[in-house]
């Protein structure tokens, strides 16, 4: 044991020393299925998060939150959001490991970014990276050549990279971007924004440039009247381009400052055409919704892994917690739910990455990626909130103490169902793709292709029968005239069927008896599609689904 007085964090966090990439056997199986192999940067990231980042962010969460300094010593308006040196070091390390930089290429792929989010998962600091990824992606895809020449390279600068943001929501509208009142005006070839209602502006004070929604005075009412702009934090002459009224006091995600931003003839650059704003704004949101899903699953993984290591050490009623059959049952059921949510999240990431060349009015592949993104975010967020809450319970009373990281995991998981559209928004957008964007046809094509790939033809017949029963139920709800009322149930059922199909495809890639996902696949199908509980003998026979968390304890990836 190598404990020193200077740092004994491993006594507060048993998972210190894990590698959240190379040690995570289920995720490695998922990534392999989708043709993604983590590089050395990602493996180093998996170790860095466990060894250093979680501790640094835990300290920031409790003792070193970002602070807004409105005025400088000489009386000038500075709106400086001060973050701790440790906070800066974390952001710099993540940048050095390529969380944003590896997007920069002939074709801007986001897969490295998405997988990085699983390892990082902290809803605060990863939000900073998500907002930066969105900004760089939209600027690269839709910015005119002169604008890209001026700003795009700054987001990939190895020495002093820029950070981005999306300032969309306003106090009177929230998720209803069409209710925005920020006004855009054109003066010659320049654009200026005026408005005081950007009320949920995350990364305010960190972002060097933000994507901002606004409307011209003569634009149509509602979402179709929205335009999208890039707004630098400083004008070319070095003056503040917008002001920050205050920072919010949040229950979690403290590493990302969220503020209220005001524009007063702020210099802006139009992105795309005036009429495309709502489409481009929503396209950017798909990235953050997928990031929300992946971060939610990553938080759940950290919480459950920590709870498992605790259960291995803690004794109660004469034996280790993990040796109690009821505790094993709980772990197994949570693990199965977690892996299904992870599969949906990575599937949605892969589909969006493959469809990201599509432009408005978009093709069917892009709309199917939207469908998957909404499903993944909603299910992953619910799964994460449940797993992190119950992981606290597994620790007993100390799980509720803020002196251990478990409470922070739960607080940070909750926001993933709220940011970038609540669960109701996800359900309504799922409904829109199904009923107006050929979503039903694409869904059937996707599932038929999956079932045709099942090597176990007897299981293929059973899956076809049970999934057909569920799909008919969905069709009945869609044709009922009360689609909105049933939209959440439709989303949940779709997620269950898609996850079950993908789990089977992943599981069959693994040699008999060796794969976590092979074991998970049939138990998930049994529980979720057949509605049958896991029997005691099945639980005992399939304990490898959870035992890998103990076996990976020594994995550092170094």
Separation of alpha carbons 485 and 467, rounded Å: 22
Q: Is residue 293 in a domain? A: no
**Alpha helices in 395-534, H assignment, sequence order:** 406-414, 423-436, 439-452, 457-478, 483-507, 516-524
Evaluate the CA torsion angle 472, 478, 480, 485 in order and state its sign.
positive
Neighbours of 312 (CB within 10 A): 15
- From 257, 275, 293, the end of a domain falls on 275
Let me know whether 93 and 213 are in one domain.
Answer: no
Let me know whether 66 and 130 are in one domain.
Answer: yes
Q: Using the predicted structure, report yes or no on whether residue 3 has a pLDDT greater than 70.
A: no
pLDDT in tens, 216-245: 999 999 999 999 999 999 999 999 999 999
pLDDT in tens, 130-186: 999 999 999 999 999 999 999 999 999 999 999 999 999 998 877 888 889 999 999
Neighbours of 287 (CB within 10 A): 26
Q: Which domain holds residue 126?
A: 11-70+81-156
Q: Which residue has the tokens 């050095």?
A: 96
Q: Is residue 144 in a domain? A: yes
Of 215, 70, 229, 97, nearest to 557 (Cα)?
A: 97
Separation of alpha carbons 390 and 424, rounded Å: 24
Of 38, 44, 26, nearest to 111 (Cα)?
A: 38
Let me know whether 85 and 193 are in one domain.
Answer: no
- pLDDT reported for residue 480: 96
- From 251, 275, 299, the end of a domain falls on 275
- From 240, 256, 275, the end of a domain falls on 275
pTM recorded for the entire structure: 0.95
Separation of alpha carbons 485 and 482, rounded Å: 5
Separation of alpha carbons 433 and 440, rounded Å: 8
Q: Using the predicted structure, report yes or no on whether residue 118 has a pLDDT greater than 50.
A: yes
Q: Is residue 443 in a domain? A: no
Let me know whether 138 and 194 are in one domain.
Answer: no
Let me know whether 127 and 196 are in one domain.
Answer: no
* 557: confidence class by pLDDT, cuts 50, 70, 90: very low
């Amino acid at each position: 044991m190598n404990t020193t007085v200077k740092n004994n964090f491993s006594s507060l966090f048993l998972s210190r020393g894990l590698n959240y990439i190379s040690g995570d056997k289920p995720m490695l199986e998922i990534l392999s299925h989708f043709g993604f192999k983590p590089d050395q940067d990602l493996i180093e990231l998996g170790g860095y998060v466990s060894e250093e980042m979680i501790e640094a962010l835990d300290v920031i969460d409790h003792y070193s939150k970002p602070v807004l300094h409105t005025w400088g010593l000489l009386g000038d308006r500075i709106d400086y959001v001060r973050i701790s040196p440790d906070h800066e070091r974390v952001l710099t390390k993540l940048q050095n490991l390529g969380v944003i930089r590896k997007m920069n290429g002939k074709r801007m792929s986001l897969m490295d970014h998405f997988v990085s989010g699983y390892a990082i998962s902290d809803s605060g600091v990863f939000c900073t990276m998500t907002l930066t990824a969105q900004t760089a992606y939209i600027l690269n895809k839709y910015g005119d050549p002169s604008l890209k020449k001026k700003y795009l390279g700054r987001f990939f600068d190895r020495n002093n990279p820029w950070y981005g943001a999306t300032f969309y929501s306003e106090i009177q509208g929230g998720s209803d971007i069409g209710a925005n009142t920020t006004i855009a005006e054109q003066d010659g070839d320049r654009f200026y924004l005026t408005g005081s209602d950007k009320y949920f502006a995350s990364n305010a004070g960190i972002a060097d440039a933000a994507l901002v929604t606004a409307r011209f005075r003569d634009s149509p009412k509602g979402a179709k009247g929205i335009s999208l702009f890039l707004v630098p934090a400083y004008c070319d002459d070095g003056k503040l381009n917008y002001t920050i009224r205050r920072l919010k006091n949040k229950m979690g995600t403290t590493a990302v400052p969220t503020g209220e931003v005001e524009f007063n003839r702020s210099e802006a650059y139009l992105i795309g055409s005036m009429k495309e704003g709502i489409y481009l704004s929503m396209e950017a949101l798909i990235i953050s919704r997928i990031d929300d899903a992946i971060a939610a699953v990553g938080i759940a993984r950290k919480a459950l892994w920590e709870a498992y290591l605790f259960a291995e050490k803690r004794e109660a009623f004469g034996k280790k917690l993990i040796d109690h059959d009821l505790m094993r049952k709980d772990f197994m059921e949570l693990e199965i739910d977690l892996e299904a949510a992870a599969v949906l999240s990575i599937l949605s990431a892969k589909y969006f990455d493959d469809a990201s060349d599509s432009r408005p009015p978009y093709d069917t592949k892009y709309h199917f990626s939207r469908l998957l993104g909404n499903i993944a975010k909603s299910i992953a967020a619910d799964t994460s909130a449940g797993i992190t809450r119950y992981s606290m319970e597994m620790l007993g009373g100390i799980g509720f103490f803020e002196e251990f990281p478990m409470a922070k995991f739960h607080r940070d998981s909750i926001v993933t169902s709220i940011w970038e559209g609540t669960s109701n928004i996800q359900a309504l957008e799922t409904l829109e793709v199904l009923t107006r964007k050929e979503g039903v046809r694409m869904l059937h094509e996707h599932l038929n292709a999956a079932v045709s790939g099942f090597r176990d033809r007897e299981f293929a017949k059973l899956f076809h029968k049970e999934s057909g029963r569920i799909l008919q139920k969905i069709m009945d709800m869609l044709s009922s005239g009360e689609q909105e009322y049933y939209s959440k149930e439709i989303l949940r059922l779709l997620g269950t069927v898609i996850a079950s199909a993908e789990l089977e495809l992943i599981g069959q890639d693994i040699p008999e008896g060796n794969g976590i996902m092979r074991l998970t696949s049939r138990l998930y199908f049994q529980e979720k599609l057949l509605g049958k509980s896991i029997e005691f003998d099945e639980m005992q026979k399939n304990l490898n689904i959870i035992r890998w968390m103990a076996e990976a304890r020594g994995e550092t990836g170094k």
